[in-house]
Amino acid sequence: MPKNMGMIDRIIRLVFAAVVAGLVIGGLISGVVAIVLGIFAGVFVITSLLSFCPLYLPLKINTGAKKS
């Protein structure tokens, strides 16, 4: 599985996940919204840790460093 995510992309995803976690813990969001955003946040954390986004493959996106 080739890496297709750059550092900035990974940081943005992790920040989003942290914000969602903070909103849920702080009680600012709940119910269906919290569940949906929590799922997105979980996926973002996993893809950030792996440096791989499966959605980028069919779209031919690579935010990582270009190999020469």
41 CB contacts (<8 Å, ≥6 apart)?
16, 17, 20, 21
pLDDT digits (tens, 9 = 90+) for 3-57: 899 999 999 999 999 999 999 999 999 999 999 999 999 999 999 999 999 999 9
* Residue 2 within a domain: no
* Residue 25 within a domain: yes
How many domains are there within the chain? 1
* Choice between 30 and 64, residue whose per-residue pLDDT is larger: 30
Specify the pTM: 0.87
Q: What is the pLDDT of residue 67?
A: 62
* Residue 65 within a domain: no
Whether pLDDT at 68 is above 90: no
Owning domain of residue 39: 7-52
